[in-house]
Each structure stands twice: as C-alpha cells, then as structure tokens.
Chains A and B, each alone.
Chain A
Amino acid sequence: MIEIRNLYKRYHNHHGSPWVLKDINLSFPPGVSVGLVGRNGAGKSTLLRLIAGMDHPEKGSIERGCRVSWPIGLAGGFQGSMTGRQNVKFVARVHGGRNKEQEIIDRVQSFAEIGDAFDEPINTYSSGMRARLNFGLSLAFDFDVYLSDEATSVGDRSFKAKATKAFKDKVGQASLIMVSHGESILKDLCQAGVYLHDGQATWYDDVEGAIEAYHADTDGNVEDHPLGAPVRPQRLVEPGSLAQAREQLRQRRTELDNAKAMFADAKEQALKPNQRKHYEDALREAKQNAQDAKARFEAFKKDSNEGAL
C-alpha cells in the first residue's frame, strides 16, 4: 500500500520554478500494477523518484507501507568505472545482504545473461546490457512494489519477453508501478492506470482508461499527429453470440483498413520517424485486434457448427 497525500513538487531552475506536481492524492492498493501515462515532462519520472524515496516532496507526504524497489531504468544506479559484479555486490550490501552476496550474484547473472561482460566495467556496456543487469538486479530481491521507468524499452525481443514473464510470475506476490510509452506492455502488465497532466494525477481503475484519456488529450495536436489522430480501436466487450462476433470482426477490419490507409499516407508524405511511429503503432495494434476478433469469430463458428451436427 502506497499512500500519497497532498504532494507538491517543483525543481528550481534558471527560469522560475513551476510546480511539476500539484496536489497529488493517490493510493496504490497492494497487488495492483499501475501504469503511469502522460506526455514527456508531465512528471511521470519525478513521481516515480518520489515514490522510490530518491527525492523529497516540497509539501505533502508519501507513505510506503511496503518494500519498494529503486526505479529500474536507464539512468543511474550503476557506477560506470566498476564492473557489473562489483556493482551487484554493492547493491546487495546496501540492502543488508552481506551473507547472501553470492546467491544474489548468481541470480542476477542467470537473469541478465550478459556473459563475460559481467566482469567488465559498466562503461563498456550497451544500453540494452545495462537494462538487463538493472532488471536482473532488482528481481534478485523480493520487493513488494517494483518501480520501472522505461526499463524494458531498450531491450531486445527476447529480453522483453523474459522481463514480461518475470513480472507475470510475480503476480500475487508483487506489483508494478511503471512508466512506459509502449502501450501494449502497459496493457499487458498493468491493471490500473494513472494519467498525469498539468501536474494533476487522475486514477483509472482500468489502465486502458488512462491510455484513452491520454490519447483524448494528445490526439489531433499538429506536432505529434500531422495527419490527424491515428486510428484508436474501440473498446469491445467479449462477444456473446456468433452474430456479435461477426459484427465485431467487421468493425475491427474497418479499423484495420483505416489504419492501413493512414500509415500508407504517412509513408507517402515522408513524415518524420517519430511522427510516423504513431501511425505505425496504430496499424500494428489494429492488426492484432483484427486477428483476435477473427479467432473469436472462428471459435463461435466452430461451436455453432458442432451444435448443428
């Protein structure tokens, strides 16, 4: 259980010090994984740092009634001039695992799978290797809440799959508070969501609600989406009958066609990669959805065929 009450945070810089977070009130129930969404600079990482206890709020309080990890992510956590092994030892000692160093090292090594690089200085690591090590390190300890700040964004496919699986295995024992721009991984791992906007945080019991609110606010702004908002899939309930499944399949196909057309358009107009990415993501999601809808439809068809026989 993490309780945030009337939390205010700002950073002092050369051009004034506006509030990054204003009057945040949240309570994270135990066992519920939460995704934080919002634009760049909305304060997602700041909130995560505050929850981790790395930073202190100007006003308000955070109560951590449980064991919370450090923010697992790209920045920080490792001393560049020391080897991976030495860094792991350091963290183990800080957490009081003086007699269990070897056990922790073995666990990290087997998860990170970075081979001989484990005994090389961190400076020589690629960002993917750092992420692997950082991830493996945090999983070597039993935290109640893991904080992840884009921890999986740089990993390759196998690492992402492994990380996702590791978290799914922990369901019931531990939960996750994660910042990510990868919406599929948020939907995969999180149940609830928090949308940060203008220093305010809004809680959604369903992570898709948070993502939708985020889209509703950002869609159509010229900077991100010069061709208009990408195709967003409609939320559909689980179909109850063959007719409903057919209807949904048709709907998903229309969405897929629209997404395809938009992506083709984006390619034609040679948009910047970061702008094109939005349409590409939308297309990928539409494809996945159409496939799922088709599978459901087929299942119903099979059922009804069997019934007819």
Chain B
Amino acid sequence: MFQIFSRGPHGTERSPWQVTRSVWYAMFMREAISRTMTDRMGWFWMIAEPMIFTLIMVGIRGFIRGDRLIVGAEFIPWMIVGLMGFFVVREGMTRGLGAIEANQALFAYRQVQPVDSVLVRNFLEVMLRTLIFLLFIVGAMMLGMDLTPDKALYAMWDWFALWCLGLGLGLVVSVAGSLVPEVGKIVRMINMPLLILSGVIFPLNNLPHWLLEYVMYNPILHGLELLRASFFEGYKVVHGTSALYYWWWALGTMALGLLMHMRFRDRLKAK
C-alpha cells in the first residue's frame, strides 16, 4: 500500500531532511489556508490591511509636516521603505509569539517540531510582506514617485537581513512567550515605541549625540538605515550605523532562538 513512512523495511526510510521538508510543505499549506480562510475576504485583507496602515501613517505624517528634510531622499518614499522594513521585523516577532500555541494539536505527530511552526509562519509572513512591498514599488512607479531601489542587489540583501533579524527575534520570543506568558505582553507593549525608536517616522539624524548613543543600541534602526542607503543613492545614514553590529544581533538571536527551541522542545510540546 503506501510506502510513505520515515521508517520502513528494506531501506525505504525517508531521510530526516525529507521528513522536515514534507512537514514544512504541510504546515505552509495549512498556514496559508488558515490565513486566507478564517476571515471573510481573507485574501483581500491580508494585502489591504498593511497597505492601508502604511497609507494612513504616510498621510498623518504628511499632514503634520516638520522634520521633513532628509538628506539624499524624498520624504514619502523614505518613510514607506522604513515602514515596510520595520513590519518585516515586527511581524516576524509577533507572529512567532502565537505560532507554537496555535499548532499545539499538531505535535501529536512526532514529525512536527515546535520550531517548524515558527519557521513556516515566518516564511509565509515575509513572502506576503515582500509581495506588498513590490506592489508599493510598482504603484509608486506609476505615480511617478521615486521608490525604485538605486542599488537593487544591496536592497535585496538588506531586505533579507531584516528577515533574518525578524526570524531570530521570532524564534527567541516564541519560546520565551510560551514558557513565560508575560513576555508576550511586553513584546506587544514595545511595538509602538519601537516604531519611533527605530526611526521609521521621524529621522533620527537631529537627535543630540548623548541620546543617539543609546538609541543606536536598537538593531532595527541599523537594518532600516542600511536598507534606505541601498534604496536612495546619496542617502546619509544616521551616524554610527554598522552592518557588523546589525549582523551580530541577527545571527545571535537566531542562534539563541534555535538553542532555546532545542533545549525546551519537550516543554513546548507538552504545554
């Protein structure tokens, strides 16, 4: 009948990589369906919601005016790039929070590990965000706005870097949030302040130096500035932006997150 098992006679076993791949495929389809089917017009809102949010933010900021002088970039494209990059990190983090709990029932199948649910969710999220970003770029092009990246390859790399940080934070937060529920609350609480502290809405160039020293500890800011530098030729990044510092964070959180997933695997499954 079906020779489709990880363990079977006569060397018909699937390799661990094959098992993982089929788990990822199954979970990806599951996540995608539940994202699109649970709400009415799920497909539409999945794309419209972040777009509308971005447009509202741009609208408000355009209305307030002030602080609009950004060296080497136009204001509105500058802000859209920042918002998009920020969302990748933020969504990676917050989607990771609920991932394990939402898939609890599926750990009955030993092939499915808690880390799979976080990885798959994150991947789906980033793919969606990338699609939305592309839609924005195309839309801006048609409106005659300059949102096309000047250094496209660098921009893609920086986008990937933001994904890595989001994934790393998501991995850490998914374990911490499942073991200590308060973590989830704190993460949701710092969402808004992070929006400002990462220099998404207001350029941080004009901050006094003593304050900037502390603000620069935030790795998201580094990532966003690098992304903008790739988008706008001649853009002047906030003083102290460092790709090395950023990658320490991205790789560090990823390593820590994976370690935590290994260490607490049974606790996460048994919850």
Contact = CB atoms under 8 A, between A and B. Distances in A.
Interface of A: 11, 52-56, 64-68, 70-71, 75-82, 86, 89-91, 93-98, 100, 103-104, 140-143
Nearest to B265: A56
A54 B105 contact: no
Given A89-B29, A93-B25, 13 more contacts: A53-B110, A67-B7, A77-B106, A77-B108, A79-B103, A90-B26, A90-B27, A95-B109, A96-B5, A96-B14, A96-B19, A103-B2, A142-B5
Interface residues of B, number: 34
B109 A91 contact: yes
A64 B13 CA distance: 13
B222 to A, nearest CB: 38
Nearest to A80: B105
A81 B19 contact: no
A195 to B, nearest CB: 25
Given A11-B270, A98-B22, A81 B38 contact: yes
B22 A93 contact: yes
B151 interface: no
Closest 5 CB pairs of A and B: A93-B26, A53-B110, A77-B108, A76-B108, A96-B4
B34 interface: yes
Interface in B17-53: 18-19, 22-23, 25-27, 29-30, 33-34, 38
B23 A94 contact: yes
Given A55-B269, A66-B7, A79 B30 contact: yes
A96 B106 contact: no
Contacts of B266: 55-56
B30 A82 contact: yes
B2 A97 contact: yes
A78 B105 contact: yes
Contacts of B269: 54-55
A81 B111 contact: no
Contacts of B2: 97, 100, 103-104, 140-142
B108 A70 contact: yes
A77 B270 contact: no
Interface in B84-121: 103-112
Contacts of A76: 104-105, 107-108
Interface string B212-231: 00000000000000000000
A86 B270 contact: no
